[in-house]
Structure 1
């Protein structure tokens, strides 16, 4: 579904991603892990076109096509079926829940003009709060709104940056169940940045570990052993 090859990225003179390779298997959930500051969010922003890349390829296979994303705008990437939930949610606090959900609808291939009902099946609380301002929601509700907004574009690839950060445990469990449901029942491909190891083990099929802007290990989530955890994840 997504193939990243020899990706390099810079902040000014600082080399932040080094010849990075990553394969995201179609229909699977891949978790991207590593200590703070190793380049995980930078990689996601590069995939989404929010940061420029110096060199390398980002190949996306979706909606019956294979395309290189690295020179496309972020808006164009959304129309190709790439949904994104950024770190910190970044909902629009002065817009209503319904207005937040409707923002991505023009990117849908079928040009649907109303929020798909299945989003409310996933997140019933959003239907109860359609007229409430996004900024008035709790952190967990805002995260559900951010995921719902990304799903509204009918993505084939959903990218989430630390969706459990600052969220109460019951909502964390609910988000995990929804990711698995989207992955297993709908076949949605998921790329997830996550710090919580139990959550990652629960939802992911595959893992990729990063350290200092490079991929240092990858494989089936069952192969993420204690030696790797200690070497690359333990603070």
Structure 2
């Protein structure tokens, strides 16, 4: 579904992504992992069109992504939950969710029932301002906002960051449900190894902007963890 080949990206004179390859099959959950500062969020921003490429190819669902703008990538079916959630604090829950509706491919103008089925708390708080929600509720709102697009691929950047443990477990269950029961393809950046093992089918390790290892989640052994993940 998503294929990246030979991706190179720079910040000024700093070479941040080096000849990076990545492939995600339809219906799988890939966990993008690595220590802080190795290029994970940079790669997501490149996929979403928020950062440009120096060289390389990106294809999504048979289409050349490098020729698509940010809004067009959403319309193609890529939902994005950024690090830090980035909801609109002064808008209500319902208003936050409705923001994604214009990007739907089918033109529907109603919030999908799926969002409120997955996150009943959002239905209960639909008239409450986003900034008044707890961190866990805001994360649910951010995921719900991405789901409003009816995406084919969901990209989540550290969805467990700053979230209380019971909500982390709930978010893990929801990601698994979206992936395994509904068939949504997932690209997940995650630092918490138990969470990644719970939801992921495959892993990809980044180090200094390079893809240094990938494989089935069961192949993420102690040697790789010690070399690329342990702080």
Q: TM-score, normalised by structure 1?
A: 0.97
Question: How do residues 41-56 of structure 1 correspond to structure 2 at under 5 angstroms?
Answer: 41-56=41-56
2:105 counterpart of 1:109: yes
Pick one of 157, 162, 170 that aligns with 1:161.
157
Paired with 1:146 and 1:203, the residues of 2 have a C-alpha distance of 19
Offset, 1:110: 1.4
Pick one of 81, 85, 89 that aligns with 2:85.
89
Offset, 1:68: 1.0
Offset, 1:41: 0.1
Q: Deviations over 1:193-222 (max 9, x none)?
A: 000000000000000000000000000000
Q: Deviations over 1:26-56 (max 9, x none)?
A: 1000000000000000000000001111110
SS of residue matched to 1:70? helix
Paired with 2:67 and 2:14, the residues of 1 have a C-alpha distance of 21
The residue aligned with 1:197 is 193
Structure 2 residue runs of 5 or longer lacking an equivalent are none
Offset, 1:18: 0.2
Offset, 1:17: 0.2
Number of positions where the alignment pairs a residue of Structure 1 with one of Structure 2? 231
Paired with 2:63 and 2:55, the residues of 1 have a C-alpha distance of 16
Which ranges of 4 or more aligned residues in structure 1 deviate by more than 4 Å?
none
Pick one of 61, 66, 73 that aligns with 1:70.
66
The residue aligned with 2:27 is 27
Paired with 1:132 and 1:57, the residues of 2 have a C-alpha distance of 43
Paired with 2:124 and 2:175, the residues of 1 have a C-alpha distance of 22
Structure 1 residue runs of 5 or longer lacking an equivalent are none
The residue aligned with 1:139 is 135
Over the aligned positions, Cα root-mean-square deviation in angstroms equals 0.5
